[in-house]
Amino acid sequence: MKGWLVALAAMALAVPAGATIVIAHRGASGERPEHTLAAYERAIDQGADYVEPDLVATRDGVLVARHENEISGTTDVASRPEFAHRKATRTIDGEQVTGWFVEEFTLAELRTLRARERLPEVRRANTRFDGLYPVPTLAEVIALVRAKEAETGRRIGLYPELKHPAYLATRGLDTPALLVAELDRAGLNRAGEPVFIQCFEVGPLKRLDGLTPLPLIQLVSAEGGPADLPGSTYRAMLSREGLAAIAAYADGIGAELPLLLGPDGTATPLVGMAHAAGLKVHAWTLRLENRFLPPLLRLGSDPDAPGDFARAWQLIRAGGIDGVFTDNPGAIPVRR
């Protein structure tokens, strides 16, 4: 297991001891189109401890921030006639997906596209930013973080997620190696830096365990299993034995909220079991709108209206959860 205690001690000036860290999920994606520099900067200005770029790779091997490698829902690619012939169907993690894929574009081509709001029917206000922002590279996200650190005088963490690394490897793109190389260039691939690396797959994390001293997070969900381990399930990985196995290569789990908080809002046994295995527990994803909150925290009948976000935060902290991914870092109550 990595020495996450050493890393967190080095970050003491950035995050108060015992605090639940706030991870801006794709930036302040409740207020700006996700995975844009505007969304990340908004999140930092709102006090997020970390920003989270999901990472995929271009055809020429550059890591860029997109929720998925299929980009018809997050860019204007579908309206660009010069790229109509790039529409394709691919099998990704066992499922057929039709659209436009980052790995089919060079960085120069991708940079001609503009970001769009992924949930326009829910976050209508965000659509006013459609067409304004390009797809950022990981290097640009790091540069933004450095600039905001200089501006604010505080450390700002980076929490990258490798998306579909096994699939992208079949396309000749080694995203774990690309990530380590980028972190090396930025001077971030060393113990004590405020960086977590996360993935839903197991193999890439085990490989990264030998490539970086940075803490690693095994992502898990209530359904399914790692795409690189057919026949395995996340449920099995969340047994006491499974958590011990995770602790051999990772430093924490990133689990969806229903796995961590029960219907009454109290912590499930998983939180204590993970802590007993020496693992940090980070929850995904806390969102403002009723439709994304459990029934206990919904206010009124409008699914797109704000729910009881403040109480959700209180329950997360009371449950002993170490960190939370949120689309709405600006709605987190004052913590300092």
Q: Catalytic residue positions?
A: 25, 67
DSSP letters for 251-286: SEEEEEHHHHB-TTSPBPHHHHHHHHTT-EEEEEEE
Give all strands (DSSP E) within 148-196, no chain letters.
157-158, 161-162
3-class secondary structure, 38: helix
| Burial class for 46, CB neighbours closer than 10 Å (0-12, 13-18, 19+) | middle
Radius of gyration of the chain (CA): 19
CA–CA distance, 44 with 232 (Å, rounded to integer): 37
CA–CA distance, 135 with 34 (Å, rounded to integer): 10
3-class secondary structure, 124: helix
3-class secondary structure, 63: strand
Q: Spell out the alpha helix ranges (H) of 47-152.
A: 107-110, 138-152
Question: Which helix (H) or strand (E) is 182 found in, with range?
Answer: helix 175-185
